[in-house]
A and B are shown apart, each in its own frame.
Chain A
Amino acid sequence: MLEVRDLVVNYGRIQALHGVSLNVAEGEIVALIGANGAGKSSTMNAVSGVVRASFGEIRLEGEELVGHPAHRIFRRGVVQVPEGRLIFANLTIEENLRLAAAGAHDRRGEGEELERVLDLFPMLRQRLKDRGSSLSGGQAQMLALARGLIAAPRLLLLDEPSLGLAPLAAREVFDLIPRLRESGITILLVEQNVRQALAVADRGYVLEGGRITLDGDAKELLGHELLVKSYLGIHREEVA
């Protein structure tokens, strides 16, 4: 479904990605893991069009995305839930949701999608008229996910969905990810919590210094020596 070839992203003179290549098949959950500054978010932002690729190809079902503005890529069904959630604190929860829906549906479809998503997140239904600023971190993450889903994505880019969440809220998020796949959404997941990311993913890529250094089946990666050493600390026996 998604093919990224030799992707290069520059921020001024700083090169963030040095020829990243990856694939995501339809219906897959693929985890992109790596340390801070490895280039995970840059890869996502380039796919969603928020950051311009300097070189390389990004194809969605064979159609080139490089060079298209973010709002066109969004309409093609590539929706990103960004790191830090970026919900609109001064808009109500309903307005946050309608904003995302408006980019993908007509008015009638917007109402239907709103109902569908509120069934998935009943907590939001009770607080539709509250401002985004009134939500806790976990609730805000749920709103960010709901906002991503209401746009009816074909490819959902989840950037650090558990960042800053209490363990219980993070678990809720990770419980939700496989359910999203069941509803037909393909997912590219960026996450620093390597163990949890690989537990829900089918495959994974490891990014280091803007390059893919390792890739493979998620279960195999969990046991890979390099990954255990670099990201999973000393709990090797747990992994095994």
Chain B
Amino acid sequence: MVDFVQNCFDGVMLGSSYALLAIGFTLIFGVMRRLNLSYGPSIMLGAFVGTLVFLEFRAGGLAVAAATVLGAVLVGIYVERLCFWAIRQGAAVASMVSSFAIWMQLEEIVTIAFPDRTYPFPPLTRAQPMDFGPFFFKVENLVMFGCAVALTLGLHLLLYRTRFGLRLRAVAESPDAARYMGINIAAVTFLAFACASAIGGVAGYLIVAQDGQITPLFGLWATFKGLIAMMLGGMGSIPGAILGGLLLGIVEAQSIWYLGTEFRDLCAYALLFLFLVFRPGGLFGHALAERERLALRRV
């Protein structure tokens, strides 16, 4: 039982990083109703910018974190301009396909610029694990969890306590109605993309710093984990993205302990498969469908 509870704690810590990845996907999907497949590779390229700063200047953790987030935001803006802004409304598939092409492009850039298989990345902390009764916690996991909670709270405040958040929610509900309210939809979309990229940059930094190394395959990994967590929670729902990420983390932590590391991804895909068969809308799919129905209804 202690092992099970310990795994749940570990899973929540791991899942908090998945939740951040899923929130980024969700923010873009919620506002634009389009899937950005190059979200993971954007974060990966950002993390390689951090790696470059670390290797070239022997920079500390904060400078590397800032470089990673800045890199992810700049690449995110590049993707937005090319795949989403340039391809306007009514062409969701074109945007998705072109974001897949950009994914390939970003991976190629990194593979050419960083030809080795892996590169070192400064660790989040070198502190020893802490004991709480029968349970122990890695400090880097606690830092990651704390950052994820702080970012989620910050995002909540942004969405529900600021004018920008109100505009963003309005555009997410109905871009047509938002246009009549004097909202600059292109600006809102651009800023939503930048926010999502920044959140992804933080998630990328936390994950890579915990591993202590980075590979060009990180983009593929981040895309898969973020997408799975988003689909488990329900496409377009931020609470769903958080819960989906945590659920994925817990299932992975349990599978690593009880079945072995090699079953980690297999269990994640099996979980997704079960959801697609029995609850295709995800955890918050029904609530989201109801919101969509209300948004489309003319009262």
Measured CB to CB, the residues of A under 8 A from B are 48, 50, 69-71, 74-75, 79-82, 84-91, 95, 98-100, 102-104, 131-133, 135-137, 140, 147, 151, 164
Across the interface, do A87 and B299 meet the contact criterion of CB distance under 8 Å? yes
- Cβ of B183: which chain A residues have Cβ within 8 Å of it? 71, 99, 103
Cα distance A99–B162 in the bound complex, in angstroms: 11
Across the interface, do B179 and A70 meet the contact criterion of CB distance under 8 Å? yes
- Given contact pairs A98-B166, A99-B166, A102-B163, A89 touches B182 in the complex (Cβ within 8 A): no
- Cβ of B177: which chain A residues have Cβ within 8 Å of it? 82, 86-88
Shortest Cβ distance from B198 into chain A, in angstroms? 23
Across the interface, do A75 and B182 meet the contact criterion of CB distance under 8 Å? yes
Closest 4 A-B residue pairs measured CB to CB? A74-B182, A103-B182, A86-B177, A89-B294
Across the interface, do B180 and A88 meet the contact criterion of CB distance under 8 Å? no
Shortest Cβ distance from A148 into chain B, in angstroms? 9
- Given contact pairs A50-B180, A70-B180, A74-B182, A84 touches B298 in the complex (Cβ within 8 A): yes
- Cβ of A71: which chain B residues have Cβ within 8 Å of it? 179, 182-185
B169 contacts A by Cβ under 8 Å: yes
- Cβ of B180: which chain A residues have Cβ within 8 Å of it? 48, 50, 70, 80-82, 86
Cα distance A85–B291 in the bound complex, in angstroms: 18
Interface CB pairs A-B, < 8 A, 16: A48-B180, A70-B180, A71-B183, A71-B185, A74-B182, A80-B180, A82-B180, A86-B177, A86-B180, A88-B174, A88-B295, A90-B173, A90-B295, A91-B173, A100-B182, A133-B299
- Given contact pairs A99-B166, A102-B163, A102-B167, A86 touches B182 in the complex (Cβ within 8 A): no
Cα distance A80–B163 in the bound complex, in angstroms: 21
Shortest Cβ distance from A208 into chain B, in angstroms? 26
Q: SS class of chain B's interface: helix, strand, loop or mixed?
A: helix
Closest-by-CB residue of B relative to A136 is: B299
How many chain B residues touch A (Cβ–Cβ < 8 Å)?
22
Shortest Cβ distance from B239 into chain A, in angstroms? 14
Interface 1/0s, chain B 174-192, versus A by CB < 8 A? Answer: 1011011111110000000
Shortest Cβ distance from A83 into chain B, in angstroms? 10
- Cβ of B117: which chain A residues have Cβ within 8 Å of it? none
Looking at the complex, which one of A70, A84, A95 makes contact with B182 (CB distance below 8 Å)? Answer: A70
- Cβ of B181: which chain A residues have Cβ within 8 Å of it? 74, 99-100, 103, 147, 151
- Cβ of A79: which chain B residues have Cβ within 8 Å of it? 182
B126 contacts A by Cβ under 8 Å: no
Shortest Cβ distance from A69 into chain B, in angstroms? 7
- Cβ of A75: which chain B residues have Cβ within 8 Å of it? 182
Shortest Cβ distance from B114 into chain A, in angstroms? 42
Looking at the complex, which one of B163, B169, B176, B184 makes contact with A86 (CB distance below 8 Å)? Answer: B176
Interface 1/0s, chain B 146-173, versus A by CB < 8 A? Answer: 0000000000000000010011011001
Across the interface, do B299 and A69 meet the contact criterion of CB distance under 8 Å? no
Cα distance A164–B299 in the bound complex, in angstroms: 10
Interface positions, chain B 261-299, Cβ under 8 Å from A, are: 291, 294-295, 297-299
Shortest Cβ distance from B293 into chain A, in angstroms? 9
Cα distance A135–B294 in the bound complex, in angstroms: 11
- Cβ of B167: which chain A residues have Cβ within 8 Å of it? 99, 102
- Cβ of B179: which chain A residues have Cβ within 8 Å of it? 50, 70-71
Looking at the complex, which one of A50, A91, A131 makes contact with B169 (CB distance below 8 Å)? Answer: A91
Closest-by-CB residue of B relative to A83 is: B298
Cα distance A75–B181 in the bound complex, in angstroms: 10
Closest-by-CB residue of B relative to A75 is: B182
- Given contact pairs A71-B183, A88-B173, A90-B291, A102 touches B298 in the complex (Cβ within 8 A): no
Closest-by-CB residue of B relative to A79 is: B182
Of A85, A90, A98, A135, which is in contact with the most chain B CB atoms at under 10 Å from its CB?
A: A90
Cα distance A164–B297 in the bound complex, in angstroms: 13
- Given contact pairs A69-B184, A71-B182, A103-B183, A137 touches B299 in the complex (Cβ within 8 A): yes
Closest-by-CB residue of B relative to A74 is: B182
Closest-by-CB residue of B relative to A139 is: B299
Shortest Cβ distance from A89 into chain B, in angstroms? 4
Interface 1/0s, chain B 243-259, versus A by CB < 8 A? Answer: 00000000000000000
- Cβ of B298: which chain A residues have Cβ within 8 Å of it? 84-86, 164
- Cβ of A89: which chain B residues have Cβ within 8 Å of it? 173, 294-295, 297, 299
- Cβ of B297: which chain A residues have Cβ within 8 Å of it? 89, 133
Closest-by-CB residue of B relative to A81 is: B180
